[in-house]
């Protein structure tokens, strides 16, 4: 360390030394060499890994069920009212038990901007933005999702923010399936002070 400082001082005093020996270029080369052998930050999605979103992540909509396994939504239409892009269609009706339930509940995911206002507006906590983010479709009609699909969609993650190992199925119904529940913290490879970051994230997000 001492010798390095002495060298730096010498160079500051006589700038020509740096120019003659290309110290700036050598510094650059040393830096790239260091990076060459450092850990890569690539997340190998979709082949081997997949990111689990945080609980706060706003993805594909999901309709929650109550304790009887019934749709929680009471078709009050508040969500469709508040929606800035007008992409929720709710048609209420009365079911056999005389309860107000949606006859039609459709979300146009192609138009939705995932602001989460519907989730905030809902008095029954029925609609929510879940954790699914892989729902690309070939036709825009396919992004018009109905009640059944919404009831079966994946809800929010419990912890999230991690990279789990996954498997890629490149068939017609292409998908990436996570193979485990918990993985490594996705920030680990990017931020070197691993422990500090991890603890702070856990403190805030749980």
Partner 1 sequence: MELIIAAIVILIKVIVIAVILFIVPIPLTWMERKIAGHIQQRLGPMRVGWHGLLQPVADGLKLLTKEDIIPDQADRLLFKMAPLVSLVPPFAVFVAIPFGESVSVMGYEISLYISDMNVGLLYILAVAGLEIYGVIFGGWASNSKYALLGSLRTCAQLISYEIPMGFSVIGVIMLSHSMSLLDIVNAQQDIWFIVYQPLGFFIFFVAGLAEAQRIPFDLAEAEGDLGAGFHTEYSGMRFSFFMLSEYLVMLTISILCVLLFFGGWHGVLIPLPAPIWFALKVGLFIYIFMWFRFTFPRYRYDQLMNIGWKVLLPLSLFNILLTGIFIF
Residue 90 in contact with ligand SF4, rule: CB under 6 A: yes
Distance CA 103, CA 122 (A): 17
Residue where the block lists tokens 């740096």? 18
In angstroms, what is the minimal distance from the CB of 47 to partner 1? 7
What is the footprint of partner 1 within residues 1-30 (CB under 8 A)?
25, 28-29
Residue 42 in contact with partner 1, rule: CB under 8 A: yes
Distance CA 173, CA 163 (A): 23
DSSP 112-143: -----HHHHH-TTS-EEE-S------SSGGGG
In angstroms, what is the minimal distance from the CB of 153 to ligand SF4? 13
The C-alpha angle 101, 79, 60, rounded to 5 degrees, equals 95
Which of 75, 150, 166, 176 touches ligand SF4 by CB under 6 A?
A: 75
Give the total residue count for the chain: 206
Sign, CA torsion 147/153/159/161? negative
Burial of 161 (0-12, 13-18, 19+ CB in 10 A): buried
Residue 174 in contact with partner 1, rule: CB under 8 A: no
Residue 28 in contact with ligand SF4, rule: CB under 6 A: no
Instruction: Output phi, psi for 13, to 5 deg.
Output: -70, -40
Sign, CA torsion 12/18/19/22? negative
The site map against ligand SF4 for 106-125 (x = CB under 6 A) is: -x----xxxxxxx--xx-x-
Q: Which is nearer to ligand SF4, 90 or 153 (CB)?
A: 90
Residue 35 in contact with partner 1, rule: CB under 8 A: yes
Which of 23, 43, 76, 151 touches ligand SF4 by CB under 6 A?
A: 76
Structure tokens at 141: 């009609």
Residue 170 in contact with ligand SF4, rule: CB under 6 A: no
Q: Which is nearer to partner 1, 17 or 103 (CB)?
A: 17
Where does this chain bind partner 1 (CB under 8 A)? 25, 28-29, 31-33, 35-42, 44, 47
Binding site for ligand SF4 (CB under 6 A): 73-79, 82-85, 87-88, 90, 107, 112-118, 121-122, 124, 126-127
């Amino acid at each position: 360390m001492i010798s390095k400082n002495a060298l730096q001082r010498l160079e500051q005093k006589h700038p020509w030394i740096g120019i003659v020996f290309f110290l700036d270029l050598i510094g650059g080369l040393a830096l790239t060499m260091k990076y060459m052998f450092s850990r890569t930050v690539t997340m190998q999605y979709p082949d081997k890994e997949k990111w689990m979103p945080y609980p706060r992540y706003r993805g594909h909509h999901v309709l929650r069920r109550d304790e009887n396994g019934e749709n929680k939504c009471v078709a009050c239409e508040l969500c469709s009212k508040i929606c800035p892009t007008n992409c929720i269609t709710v048609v209420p009706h009365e079911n056999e038990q005389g309860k107000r339930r949606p006859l039609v509940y459709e979300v146009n995911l192609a138009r939705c901007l995932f602001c989460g206002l519907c989730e905030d507006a809902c008095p029954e906590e029925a609609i929510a933005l879940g954790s699914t983010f892989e729902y690309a479709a070939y036709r825009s009609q396919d992004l018009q999702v109905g009640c059944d699909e919404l009831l079966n969609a994946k809800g929010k993650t419990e912890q999230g923010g991690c990279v789990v190992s996954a498997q890629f199925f490149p068939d017609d119904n292409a998908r990436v399936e996570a193979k485990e529940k918990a993985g490594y913290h996705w920030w680990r490879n990017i931020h070197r002070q691993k422990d500090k970051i991890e603890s702070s994230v856990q403190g805030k997000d749980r």
